[in-house]
Amino acid sequence: MSQSTSTGPDRTRRVAVVTGGSGGIGRACAERLGADGFAVVVHYAGNPQRAEEVARAVVAAGGLATTAQADVAAEDQVAAVFTAAESEFGGVDVVVNTAGIMRLAPLAQADLKEGGEVDGMVRTNLRGTLVVSAEALRRLRDGGALVNVSTSVTRLALPTYAAYVATKGAVEAMTPILAKEVAGRDVTVNTVAPGPTATPLFLDGKDEETIARMASMNPMGRLGEPADIAEVVAFLAGPGRWVNGQVVFANGGAA
């Protein structure tokens, strides 16, 4: 656990853990929640420099932030992140689970060997969501919120996305169940399903023609930006208390 704070712990603040917080959407969420007054734990898997950069950005804007490393599929490591958040800031109020990986191929050509790319997506996107969600629902304080991340491709049904969408469809399916499992605790559980968004995860391996074509599919005439998704997450993490057990498609109208 490496620390980057503006002055020191302020235990009167609400606290957010953002998994995948060094990535495109994760970073936007961390910075937005920091601007909204949250103390932010920026989780990363393997790039401490990027996570520290995000934490410094939160601090530069007047917030509190710290970084934490974990494999989201490893229960003990995820538990350690939450314990560190509680020790540093006094508790956990919001968990935004953006950690994920994407490997695209027609299923007949996908790397299905044991330990291969598809297994990697299942481990991070599905098992990781289960592990993070379980820990969040144990630890979130009353008034808290868990926000997981799916993808609008569960509806867009784009070729080459089958294995990836399989891991994300499961996240959507568990969302209303988890909301009911914490009934009576004033904790909300929702999932945000971004459409094509201009992040390294999405842009990697795509040529300009493909990117332009996908942007043109949107009624808004562009790809989403990480800040577009962070705005929806911030609503669910803050004032959106009557939205619960839902999958919110944040995609500019793509269908």
Contact call for residues 93 and 144 (beta carbons, < 8 A): yes
pLDDT tens for 4-27 read: 444 455 567 899 999 999 989 999
In this predicted structure, the answer to whether residue 1 has a pLDDT above a threshold of 60 is no
Catalytic site residue from 161, 164, 202, 249: 164
Q: How far apart are CA 182 and CA 205, in angstroms?
A: 40
Architecture of domain 13-250: 3-Layer(aba) Sandwich (3.40)
pLDDT tens for 86-125 read: 999 999 999 999 999 999 999 999 999 999 999 999 999 9
Q: What is the pTM of this model?
A: 0.92
Q: Is 164 a catalytic residue?
A: yes
Look at residue 202 in the predicted model and tell me its pLDDT: 75
How does residue 200 score in pLDDT terms, banded at 50, 70 and 90? confident
Residue bearing the bigger pLDDT, 213 or 85: 85
CA distances from 108 to 96, 112, 176 (A): 33, 9, 32
CA distances from 243 to 3, 26, 101, 121, 247 (A): 33, 21, 27, 28, 10
The domain segmentation of the chain, as residue ranges, is 13-250
Give 188: exposed, middle or buried? Use CB within 10 Å, 0-12, 13-18, 19+.
buried
DSSP 224: B
In this predicted structure, the answer to whether residue 168 has a pLDDT above a threshold of 50 is yes
